[in-house]
Structure 1
Amino acid sequence: MRKSRSRRTIRTVSSAILVITLLVGVGRANAEETVFGKLLKFFDVDVEEAAPAEMVFDIADGAIAENQYTPLLKKLLGSELHFVQKVCNANDAQMKEFQTVGLKLVGQVAAQYEKMQNRNQREWPDARDTITGEFLKLAEKTFDEETANRYQEEVLARREAKKDAALDMMVTILDRKLILSEDQVDEITEKTEQNWEADWDRNMQVYMYDEYSPSPPDSVLDKALNDRQKNVRRGTRNNGRISFGWEQDLGIIPIWGDDGTVLWEVK
């Protein structure tokens, strides 16, 4: 019993830290040097995929047509350009190519967001995926095969780390409510991963709120839970998905300054 509780504590703490790290991180660089990275290492969690990246690219105003979405999307572009530079060790000329393509994409996405808001649509495209999708194509043309493959691997590793964190938190929240056995944790984790929906890891902040966080599919839980756990689950409250806004979907975290203004941070 003590061993089970110890595992549950480690899983809960490590998953929570990993989610926080992903909310404020991108890339693998200097993972073990961060506070969250050291905590994850202490709990024997792979930290390489969840390291914070320093913002070094600041896209000048007036580079493209502006609307209300452009400033934050340019900050997002800055973080992706930094990711390219760190992973690929790109020179100035190569980075200029990526910046040119990125700015064009920012303009397109900003215009698309404006149209979608006017139609009052709730689900918006993921601008980060749009940018990285085009950057992957450009990397094949710009870099040698080894470098292009490394960039692709890092992009995929970042996506996989986010999915793993969401899956861990999803099962951890369920475990906290129902007290799962280790075998149940393994079964639910495996089956949920096999039936994964992309929307479940789009906004990591939702896992900070049990009543709004996604839950493993009923088809998985019906087979994995015992009757007592099913009864407890039926009595728990879940208000369904909550939207924190398109900024949060992109990992753009609002921080309030001392003067009452919002300082936007992209990670």
Structure 2
Amino acid sequence: MKRAKSNSLRVDSVQCLLFEDEQEEKTLQPSDIVILPPQDVMQTLQGVGQLVTTTILDPWYNKGVGGVRPDYYEWLFSVVCAAAKISNNIFLWGFPEIVYKVLDHLPTDFILVAWLTWYYKNCPSVIRGWRSAQLACLHIAKPSAKLYPEHFLNEAQLEKQRQGKLRYMPGPPSVIEAPLLVGFVGKYEQVGHPAQKPIKVIEPIVLMTTKEGDIVLDPMCGSGTTGEVCKKLGRRAILCDESEEYICMTENRLKLHRVDQNVSRSRSYF
């Protein structure tokens, strides 16, 4: 299998790299983090070919950074629908004035579970008027998708649960407060991505929808934060991005090589 001129894998090749083959065992192992070569998000979604627990979609917001396309909403709806074919849960990030339109075009058999908000106080802005301090994240899922609010229990609540005295299962708030990674804020976490999301923002959505060993797909992985979170929590992850720069950034951050035609899973640098 050779890479196409666009450095993309064939649509049917992602599944060959990741999952079982009759001739050779290629199943993702517990705690595996797989980085694919750079390719378009639709190629990744169509190529995975097997159900994943959670897919995280973080497209550019059609406001100049990352490019502008006149058919942005049609494209966005098609990406969400493609993700729905292989996912139990989907998280779609974006500005509220953009992502709300997806609610009128939910994939068949998917429902809105929650409208999440990432609230940050430290957004630098020269705009005269309202300063942006939030980003929306739509959690849509199959009605049968399981949630794990117990992953957020503190020690006292866990003890009550063990004793059978926990009267109800408290869930996490739908507003996630964490500062932007700018300037000296989170400088040890920063890797140079212009829109890097903090670990504290991605961690709750992975905890709520997955258990150890579940697969998380991030076809627009950017700086690789999803991979960092999955590595920490013992989840398996499939990461990709259309940018060669961001794939390199993710490789350096996770100390893993991308897969190629001769390797069924990522190899450690060491």
Do Structure 1 and Structure 2 share a fold, with TM-score over 0.5? no
Of structures 1 and 2, the one with the larger relative CO (CA 8 A, separation 6+) is 2
User: Structure 1 or 2: larger helix share?
Assistant: 1
The TM-score, its normalising length taken from structure 1, stands at 0.30
